[in-house]
Chain A
Amino acid sequence: MLGTVSHLELLRPRTVPEALRMLRDEGPLVPLAGATDLYVLLNAGTLPGQRFLDLAPLAPLRRIAVGDGGRVVVVGALATYTQIIRSRHVRARLPTLVEAARQIGGAQIQNRGTIGGNIANGSPAGDTLPVLAVAEAVVVLRSHAGERRVPFGEFYTGYRASVRRPDELIVAVELPPLEGAQWFRKVGTRAAQAISKIVMAAVRSPGRPRIALGSVAATVVRLPRTEDALAAGASLDDAARVLGEEIRPIDDVRSTAEYRRRVSANLLRRFWAETAPARPAR
């Protein structure tokens, strides 16, 4: 291992209120959940800070429950991918989130990585993020001063940047009711345990589809113009063309801009074909 740790500090709150107080009074602190990125960033020399706040013992943040009179599925920020995979609430409400969690890495990563971490990292390749985007999930932020809810589409402001203030914690993500067939596809560098080259989530909602893509821009992106086109009855060829114009893929060590562009268009067609309403039987 390249990075040294003796200069790193870890604060260990015992309760959520204590954690929030620390964030407010003893910052700057980087919240630490499953830590699946920590040492990778340390070795790369790109740690976001040297002082950390250990969230791991905060059990209330791990719960997956139904709230708001059964309307909303509340997934605690510290819910691991394994918990999400096993949760009958999530399986019922947002099976594509389960799919994303299954493909995020091997069992070892699934057992440690958390949805709050995936959201907080804000990687453009984050596998759950397109799903949350089309689910129009709500990010619940809490500080010592109170709680606020931010629609997922308003959460990110730029590359790995969000509206989360330094004294706030993501405590949960809320999944509202969702109508329409759900679709998810991750394209990685191999069959298992791979970083996305392209990751797409979509919902064939009545009236207007919802489509989101990862790894084609600085953040996960909804595709409003493509959605508009499809909602207005455009042909798939036209919609695919609009999609190509809406995204900004790049060449990187894993793939090429052209590949991402072409394959996104193909995935759009596949989503549309696979979620087409079935003909009623005669």
Chain B
Amino acid sequence: MFKDLQIAWRNLWRNRKRTAITISAVVLAVVLSTFMSSMQEGTYARMIDNIVKFYSGYIQIHHPDYWASRSINDTYEPDSLLSRAIGGTPEITLAVPRLESFALISSGENTKGAALIGIDPPMEDSLTGLSKWIDQGSYLRRGDNGLMLAINVAKNLDAHIGDTLILLSQGFHGSSASALVPLRGILKFPSPQLNNYGAYIDLKSAGEFFDATGRITSMALLVKDYHRVSGAASDLRAKMEPRLSVKTWDEMQPDLIKMIEGDRAGAIIMKGILYMVVGFGILGTIIMMMAERKKEMGIMVAIGMQKYRLQRMLSFESLFIGFLGVLIGFALSLPLVSLMVSHPVRLPGEMAKIYESFGIEPVLYFSMIPKIFINQAITIFILTLLIALYPLLSIRKMIVISAMHGK
């Protein structure tokens, strides 16, 4: 058998051009499918990143009853145990505290209900980029006693920058919460729903207002990308549960997952089409190679080589081709993809504007996670092996006499 391996190897190098062409078909398959996978994964990860950064963060830590009740009574004080737990989980890049509840906001004759969110202004900005949506007035500063409103809430209240507004709510343990606040800034979001939703005050002011000083409803965490979330979450859970509850973005927004899965399914079909095209590219070269060597193979069988040995030899050749092709493909796609990651391609004109209006960078995203490269390499290798069945079948059906005549 070892002899056959050697022969197979030498066969490949006997006709360099032919081998090169066949291997390059495999290389191409690997490079293109890796490129496409990388782009799909990158776009996907960026989409999740954008949606998650808009408000919820990747992970949130709550009082165990909070998610069901949303009550101001189910708040907690973040202590050193929590900060150590967060600090000890390296995937977490940012932890942003919030104290949020429902409140009535009143200006002049108008009263409207809204979500009142106590934030740490600079930290919130690092997570959600909130400050870039300021349309009028200014963004809150830490310790500020003022208020920011979403634009339609402000319009409904007929409130203008500098006006004093009244906040009313139910505070911690049922106490009455009331305060007078100046309107510091008005936010305008790209999505109309968000424009009807929120009011923001500084975290310290929120604590005083709700009689819940030092308490928060949630700590929102940012992770590098969505692949690291489950690792970080289970890490935190081990340290924090049952005292506090840890929820991930997909648990908090299950509808989002459904939408993404639907998209992913479409992407699979696209991959299927690509495999079909590149697969045929490889098959084409193999068919041509067989056609070209027909005479040679016919003679080999005629002088006594058993068909099965010929088949085995060809299988080894295919294995080598597959292996080399995948290896070279992998080696080529690595620098290509990392180039796309470090120097992403900007989208053209009109499309760029639409993306930017949503606060999303108008760029093609690529992903470098190892899973992509490995998966594509393996898939193409398997595809090559499947295609390698053709030569085997061809040998089986071969009629020696006709083969020797080159037919």
User: Do the two chains bind?
Assistant: no
Chain B residues engaging chain A, CB cutoff 8 angstroms: none
**Which A residues contact B (CB, under 8 angstroms)?**
none
